[in-house]
Structure 1
């Protein structure tokens, strides 16, 4: 009986030690590129001739408000790729405002939650395997119709954000 207890304790110690080594030796996977994305969003809006009014951050939802006088006001929401900000962003849109989502430079009338989530998990798996894989931003866009925001070069913002994240790592 003592040999069996000793063997069980030894096995438990080996398992615990193995898990601890894996946790300590695993590469750090960081998906929080919020400061870089906020800077990219500000720069993009300024390139479109808008004046940035402010940046608001609440936990993991970042909003950038901008305007071009007299009748163009726009809010960009850097949303979680998992999809849980969709309802919040929809409720923020007034009745007369345009609401659309941007992912990988493409415009979507509805939140592409599954596409964004799949890309996030693929990036995380590749990062855990030691490869370089950026996390692509998912944006919610709320704009006055006079902004013609759907005509903005959204692919440029995606490229800026992905390049900035890659340069940071």
Structure 2
């Protein structure tokens, strides 16, 4: 068999598979589940004695704000696993503590390779009609003297 024909056959199969994923009946499997993380974060902070409110910023992030008196303020939001919000969050955190949470771990910087790989792995699974666990990425900005943050519990919210 000539390599050109083999390549053409493989290309044709890939084209057919790609088009099959775009049929009207397959549209629903590509839609992500609604995100309940902000509600879970708010509940966790309330359990720890924080005064909680939710804010939608101009940057399309849903921030959960928690305060304990004047000395401790924290902002927590689910962010894009592709790293799109990293510069924004870093700029907002200037002079404050910054934490990222993913798969039950805490990081000082967003582990973009890991979060992006999981995002595309999950997306591929949805296209194939399979399920993969949703592992949200959280960013938390806290004032420097805020010592009562439930860091381990926040990390556990990302490892379901």
Q: TM-score by structure 1 length?
A: 0.72
Please provide the CA RMSD for this pair.
Answer: 2.6
The structure with the greater share of residues assigned to helix is: 1
Aligned length: 143
Q: 2:25, 2:146 → 1: CA distance?
A: 49
Preserved contact between residue 78 and residue 140 of structure 1 (Cα < 8 Å):
yes
Matches within 5 A, 1:45-60: 45-58=45-58, 60=60
Matches within 5 A, 1:12-91: 19=19, 22-26=22-26, 27-31=28-32, 33-34=34-35, 36-58=36-58, 60-91=60-91
Aligned residues of 1:107 and 1:150 also touching (Cα < 8 A): no
Alpha-carbon deviations, 1:36-55, whole Å to 9, x = none?
12211211221222111332
Name structure 1 gaps, 5 residues minimum.
1-14, 163-169
Runs of 5+ in structure 2 lacking a partner? 1-14
**Deviation of 1:147 (Å):** 2.3
Which string of whole-angstrom CA distances, capped at 9 and with x for unpartnered residues, describes residues 5-40 of structure 1?
A: xxxxxxxxxx9xx94884212142223634x12211
Contact map agreement 2:101 2:137 (CA 8 A) in 1: yes
Misfit runs of 4+, over 6 Å: none
